[in-house]
Amino acid sequence: MNQGNSSRLTRGAIDASRDLIPSQDIVMSWFINGRRVSASQVALQRCTGGNINHHVGRMCVDIAVVVAGVPIAVEFDSWFWHGDRELVDQRRDRMLLALGWRVLRIRSAGDIPGAPIILATLRELRSGHARVLILTMPSWGVGPTRAALVR
Protein backbone atom coordinates (compact mmCIF):
# COMPACT_ATOMS: atom_id res chain seq x y z
CA MET A 1 0.00 0.00 0.00
CA ASN A 2 1.45 3.35 -1.04
CA GLN A 3 1.84 5.81 1.81
CA GLY A 4 2.68 8.79 -0.34
CA ASN A 5 6.39 9.12 -1.11
CA SER A 6 7.32 6.39 1.38
CA SER A 7 10.73 4.80 1.19
CA ARG A 8 12.22 1.74 2.81
CA LEU A 9 15.84 1.33 3.83
CA THR A 10 16.54 -2.36 4.15
CA ARG A 11 19.03 -4.48 6.03
CA GLY A 12 21.60 -4.10 3.27
CA ALA A 13 21.70 -0.33 3.77
CA ILE A 14 23.17 -0.64 7.25
CA ASP A 15 26.62 -1.89 8.19
CA ALA A 16 25.98 -3.62 11.53
CA SER A 17 29.61 -3.43 12.62
CA ARG A 18 29.73 0.35 12.16
CA ASP A 19 26.22 1.78 12.22
CA LEU A 20 24.30 0.09 15.04
CA ILE A 21 23.97 0.77 18.72
CA PRO A 22 23.34 -2.55 20.46
CA SER A 23 20.62 -2.28 23.05
CA GLN A 24 21.88 -4.65 25.71
CA ASP A 25 19.41 -3.33 28.25
CA ILE A 26 16.36 -3.79 26.00
CA VAL A 27 14.55 -5.68 28.75
CA MET A 28 14.68 -2.59 30.95
CA SER A 29 11.79 -0.20 30.72
CA TRP A 30 10.59 2.96 32.38
CA PHE A 31 7.33 4.85 32.55
CA ILE A 32 7.37 8.34 31.06
CA ASN A 33 4.19 10.40 30.70
CA GLY A 34 2.22 7.41 31.98
CA ARG A 35 3.40 5.04 29.25
CA ARG A 36 6.00 2.28 29.19
CA VAL A 37 9.24 3.25 27.47
CA SER A 38 11.96 0.84 26.37
CA ALA A 39 15.69 1.44 26.60
CA SER A 40 15.73 1.69 22.80
CA GLN A 41 13.15 4.47 22.87
CA VAL A 42 15.18 6.35 25.49
CA ALA A 43 18.32 5.98 23.34
CA LEU A 44 16.42 7.31 20.29
CA GLN A 45 15.09 10.23 22.31
CA ARG A 46 18.60 11.12 23.46
CA CYS A 47 19.85 10.99 19.87
CA THR A 48 17.06 13.13 18.40
CA GLY A 49 16.48 15.48 21.32
CA GLY A 50 12.74 15.07 20.75
CA ASN A 51 9.86 14.69 23.18
CA ILE A 52 9.11 11.14 24.30
CA ASN A 53 5.49 9.86 24.38
CA HIS A 54 4.16 12.98 22.67
CA HIS A 55 0.40 13.21 22.10
CA VAL A 56 -0.75 13.91 18.55
CA GLY A 57 -4.51 14.00 18.42
CA ARG A 58 -5.68 10.77 20.07
CA MET A 59 -2.35 9.05 19.38
CA CYS A 60 0.87 9.00 21.34
CA VAL A 61 4.04 8.88 19.24
CA ASP A 62 7.23 7.39 20.65
CA ILE A 63 9.32 10.49 19.95
CA ALA A 64 8.26 13.80 18.42
CA VAL A 65 10.94 15.99 16.92
CA VAL A 66 10.67 19.20 14.92
CA VAL A 67 13.38 19.71 12.30
CA ALA A 68 13.39 23.16 10.66
CA GLY A 69 9.68 23.54 11.40
CA VAL A 70 8.75 20.06 10.12
CA PRO A 71 7.13 17.77 12.74
CA ILE A 72 8.46 14.21 12.56
CA ALA A 73 7.18 11.21 14.52
CA VAL A 74 9.92 8.68 15.31
CA GLU A 75 8.29 5.32 15.96
CA PHE A 76 10.27 2.37 17.35
CA ASP A 77 8.63 -0.89 16.28
CA SER A 78 10.05 -3.81 18.21
CA TRP A 79 9.68 -7.18 16.48
CA PHE A 80 7.98 -8.70 19.53
CA TRP A 81 5.15 -6.12 19.55
CA HIS A 82 4.94 -5.07 15.89
CA GLY A 83 6.04 -8.14 13.91
CA ASP A 84 2.48 -8.80 12.78
CA ARG A 85 1.08 -5.24 12.91
CA GLU A 86 2.16 -3.76 9.58
CA LEU A 87 -1.40 -2.84 8.54
CA VAL A 88 -2.06 -1.15 11.90
CA ASP A 89 1.21 0.78 11.59
CA GLN A 90 0.36 1.85 8.02
CA ARG A 91 -3.05 3.14 9.16
CA ARG A 92 -1.32 5.08 11.96
CA ASP A 93 1.15 6.55 9.42
CA ARG A 94 -1.75 7.74 7.25
CA MET A 95 -3.37 9.44 10.27
CA LEU A 96 -0.10 11.19 11.16
CA LEU A 97 0.39 12.29 7.54
CA ALA A 98 -3.15 13.71 7.48
CA LEU A 99 -2.25 15.78 10.56
CA GLY A 100 0.82 17.23 8.79
CA TRP A 101 3.48 14.95 10.32
CA ARG A 102 6.20 12.93 8.63
CA VAL A 103 7.13 9.52 10.00
CA LEU A 104 10.36 7.65 10.67
CA ARG A 105 9.75 4.00 11.59
CA ILE A 106 12.60 1.97 13.03
CA ARG A 107 11.86 -1.75 12.92
CA SER A 108 14.07 -3.87 15.12
CA ALA A 109 14.27 -6.63 17.68
CA GLY A 110 16.54 -4.48 19.82
CA ASP A 111 19.35 -2.74 17.94
CA ILE A 112 18.97 0.84 16.79
CA PRO A 113 20.82 2.81 14.13
CA GLY A 114 23.61 5.11 15.20
CA ALA A 115 23.16 8.86 15.39
CA PRO A 116 24.59 9.59 11.88
CA ILE A 117 21.95 7.38 10.24
CA ILE A 118 19.10 8.74 12.35
CA LEU A 119 20.08 12.37 11.76
CA ALA A 120 20.54 11.83 8.00
CA THR A 121 17.12 10.19 7.84
CA LEU A 122 15.51 13.09 9.72
CA ARG A 123 17.14 15.53 7.25
CA GLU A 124 15.75 13.50 4.33
CA LEU A 125 12.25 13.63 5.82
CA ARG A 126 12.62 17.38 6.41
CA SER A 127 13.59 17.88 2.77
CA GLY A 128 10.22 16.55 1.63
CA HIS A 129 11.63 13.89 -0.70
CA ALA A 130 9.80 11.33 1.43
CA ARG A 131 7.00 11.58 3.96
CA VAL A 132 7.50 8.14 5.53
CA LEU A 133 10.84 6.35 5.88
CA ILE A 134 11.30 2.89 7.35
CA LEU A 135 14.65 1.71 8.69
CA THR A 136 14.64 -2.08 8.97
CA MET A 137 17.40 -3.28 11.26
CA PRO A 138 19.24 -6.62 10.90
CA SER A 139 17.47 -8.03 13.96
CA TRP A 140 13.96 -7.47 12.52
CA GLY A 141 12.28 -10.85 12.21
CA VAL A 142 14.42 -12.56 14.86
CA GLY A 143 12.52 -14.25 17.67
CA PRO A 144 8.84 -14.71 18.43
CA THR A 145 6.16 -12.05 18.25
CA ARG A 146 3.63 -11.44 21.00
CA ALA A 147 0.82 -12.65 18.73
CA ALA A 148 2.65 -15.94 18.08
CA LEU A 149 3.08 -16.56 21.81
CA VAL A 150 -0.58 -15.80 22.57
CA ARG A 151 -1.95 -18.24 19.99
| CATH code given to domain 6-150 | 3.40.960
- Nearest partner of 37 among 120, 142, 46, 58, judged by Cα: 46
**From CA 133, how far away is CA 105, in angstroms rounded?**
6
Give the model confidence (pLDDT) of 38-83 as tens digits.
Answer: 788 888 888 999 998 899 988 999 999 999 999 999 999 988 888 8
pLDDT in tens, 86-142: 999 999 999 999 999 999 999 998 788 999 999 999 999 999 999 999 999 998 988
Domains of the chain: which residue ranges? 6-150
Provide the whole-model pTM.
0.77
